Amino acid sequence: MRKLLVITGGTKGIGRAVIEKFVAYGFDIATCARKMPELEMLRDSLTEKADIHIFKADVSDRQQVKAFCDFVNGLNRPVDVLVNNAGYFVPGDISTEQEGALEAMMEANLYSAYHVTRGFVPGMKDNKSGHIFNICSIASIKAYANGGSYAITKFALLGMSKCLREELKEFGIRVTAVMPGATLTASWEGVDLPNDRFMKVEDVADLVYAAYALSNRSVVEEVIIRPQLGDI
C-alpha cells in the first residue's frame, strides 16, 4: 500500500511543494485548505500520479479541524507523515498591532497544529510509527522588529515540537521542527526585493523529505534553513 502524507494548507507555497515532493516518491495525499477551487485544482493536477484526498477547512476553527481529522481517519489508512504547515503572517509590533492579532494568529499558527496533531497521534501510537513535521520559522528562535504576534506563535510552535519529541520518542514517532527563513511565498507579495533574495519553496520541501528519508534509528529534531545572503 502507498504511504499517506497528511498536510494542512497544501494548495500553495511550502505546502504545495511538500506535496509534489512526496508524490514524486510514491505517497498519496490528504490535505485541507480554505478554498475548494484551489483544492480541486491541486487534485486535478496530480490525480494521475497519486490519490489526492481534499477537504475544505479553515484550521483556525477547532470544529473544522475535527471535521478534517475525522475525514482523514475515515480513510482507514495509517498516517505515515503529518505536516502542520497552515498559518499566516501579519507584521506588527506588540504594542501597536491591531487588536486581536495575537488571538487570530494563535488560532491559525499554533492551536491548529495542536488540535490536528491530537487528531492523528493516537493512530500513530497504535502503529508505533509516523513522522510529524511542524513548519515553524526563523521567528521561532530570533526576535525581530515587526515580528509581533507572529513571532510569539512561532516560538510557541517550536516549544510544542520539543514537547512532542519527548512524549512520542518511545512510540517510534519522529518529530521535526522546520525553521525556514524568508521563502518566496504569498506572505512576501508586494515586497520590493528580487526573487533570488528568497529561498525557493522546493528547497524547504527537499529538506523535509530528506529528514523523513533517514532510517528510523535517527531523527532530525530541528532544522534551520536561511537564504544564502542571510535573513531579510
Q: C-alpha angle with apex 170: 112 to 109, nearest 5 degrees?
A: 15
Cα–Cα distance list, 12 to 78, 85, 187, 201, 217 (Å): 25, 11, 11, 10, 32
Largest interatomic CA distance in the chain: 52
Cell representation of residue 184: 518566496
Classified as helix, coil or strand, 145 is: coil
Residues 222 and 179: their CA atoms lie apart, in Å, by 8
CB atoms within 10 A of CB 130: 22
Catalytic residues: 150
Q: What is the C-alpha to C-alpha distance for residues 162 and 180, in angstroms, rounded to an integer?
A: 17
Residue 141, Cβ density class (10 Å: 0-12 exposed, 13-18 middle, ≥19 buried)? middle
